[in-house]
Amino acid sequence: MSMPDPQELDRPAPRPPDRTPARAYRAPAPRLRDRILPLLYPLPGGESATARSLLGVAFGLALVLLALAGVVAPFVVPDAVRQWSPASAQSVTDAGQLSPGSIFRDCRDESCPWLVVLPPGRFVMGSAAGEAEPKPDEGPQHEVAIAAKIAVMQHEVTRGQFAAFVKETKYQIKAACSTLTGKGFAVDPKGAWNSVGFTQTDQHPVVCVDWNDARAYALWLSQRTGRNYRLLSEAEWEYAARAGSQTPYAFGDRANEICSYGNVADRSLKDALKELLKGWVFADCSDGNVYTASVKSFKANAFGLYDMLGNAWEWTEDCYHGNYSNAPGDGSAWVDGNCSQRILRGGGWDDDPYKARSANRFGSAPGGRGSGVGFRLARTLP
Ligand SMILES: [Ca+2]
Ligand SMILES: [Ca+2]
């Protein structure tokens, strides 16, 4: 009997054969990079050359399409679509969420107006005792509550903005505007928004426009943007002009400081036209402008609004009432009663500072036009 080999004893017992079926081998999917690189850098050969030429054709076609879009589209797409593309998602859809003081607009073209978001608030409308000479239409003082934020144009509608409206709509304005003539102020039968009797640029406030013209512009802007543009109510206008102040002017009570804040009948006008304007009252300061000034030439008020006082009078929605008895207290427009006159606010370049007080009001026939009269609009926030 032979002895077992000691090495055999140390070996493990043989394992039983594996009966589980073998899995089919699966090659890993090639990486995206490995698929694209051969296309971009093909090896020499017939197939590679075909791929390369196909890529070249596709690239060329893309370039041609881009060029066509840039050259042909401007002649095909209507003016309205090109000019009124939305400014941004925020300004178009979320304006109601903007905080007070925010500035936005609903379109992108040069003539699209900028708006300032005003906070809701309460204020005392009308002038305090002693502020005005007997002027019963500025009283009685009463509290007005503006319940919701509103957006108000940062400055008066400019001549350039109004020109865009006239050009697109072919809007016709009957000529005749009260303006400076060689004999002083008189109705010029040929006077119109683009012929006001003195030199203006597109940055000056549009003047020689009546209440109906202002409403027509608002309707057009509303249709263009899909938003509600409108004249301010008289109460909204005074709230915007006061910007939290209760003094005669948003900047205080000293009339002769107005030359830093607004364009009125000042020494510049006096020096230029004193022969024509004998007996007029002028501010004892110089704002540097004989006629209208470019909008935003002066300091803004605390709400960030320019030229509320001076430069051009501004049409509001309200009908004229001789005093504030029974006036609405919620900031809405007061449009019952006698509407043969609509309210103008703020004074103009040819007025003494007294007329540029926040509380001052003036009733004018809605069809009247003057070279000191323009407008601005509000936009209702959702
Ligand atoms: Ca002036
Ligand atoms: Ca003004």
Ligand number, closest to the Cα atom of 237: 2
pLDDT at 12: 52
Give the distance (Å) from ligand 2 centre to CA of residue 26.
Answer: 80
DSSP 117: E
Ligand number, closest to the Cα atom of 264: 1
Give the distance (Å) from ligand 2 centre to CA of residue 251.
Answer: 15
Give the whole-angstrom CA distance, residue 102 versus residue 228.
18
Give the distance (Å) from ligand 2 centre to CA of residue 309.
Answer: 5
Cis peptide before 189 (omega within 30 of 0): no
Give the distance (Å) from ligand 1 centre to CA of residue 265.
Answer: 5
Give the whole-angstrom CA distance, residue 286 versus residue 376.
25
Give the distance (Å) from ligand 1 centre to CA of residue 185.
Answer: 16
pLDDT at 41: 66
pLDDT by residue, tens only, the chain of 382 residues: 444 454 544 555 555 555 555 555 566 676 777 776 666 666 655 566 676 677 777 778 877 777 666 555 544 444 444 444 444 434 455 788 899 999 999 988 889 999 999 999 999 999 998 898 889 999 999 999 999 999 999 999 999 999 999 999 999 988 899 998 888 899 999 999 999 999 999 999 999 999 999 999 999 999 999 999 999 999 999 999 999 999 999 999 999 999 999 999 999 999 999 888 888 999 999 999 999 999 999 999 999 999 999 999 999 999 999 999 999 999 999 999 889 999 999 999 999 999 999 999 999 999 999 999 999 999 999 8
pLDDT at 101: 95
Angle at Cα 296 formed by Cα 347 and Cα 361, nearest 5°? 15
Q: Which domains does the chain have, with CATH numbers?
A: 95-380 (3.90.1580.10)
Give the distance (Å) from ligand 2 centre to CA of residue 133.
Answer: 22
- Residue 276 CB partners (closer than 8 Å, separation 6+): 180, 183, 184
**Do the beta carbons of residue 346 and residue 115 sit within 8 Å?**
no
Give the distance (Å) from ligand 2 centre to CA of residue 360.
Answer: 12
pLDDT at 63: 78
Give the distance (Å) from ligand 2 centre to CA of residue 54.
Answer: 64
- Stated pTM of the model: 0.78
Ligand number, closest to the Cα atom of 310: 2
Q: SS3 of 373, please?
A: strand
How far is the CA of 120 from the CAs of 5, 100, 144, in angstroms? 104, 9, 11
Ligand number, closest to the Cα atom of 152: 2
Ligand number, closest to the Cα atom of 375: 2
Q: What is the DSSP string of 212-263?
A: HHHHHHHHHHHHHHTS-EEEPPHHHHHHHHHTT--SSBTTBS-GGGGGGT--
Paired strand residues for 379: 151, 229
Give the whole-angstrom CA distance, residue 100 versus residue 132.
31
Give the distance (Å) from ligand 1 centre to CA of residue 113.
Answer: 24
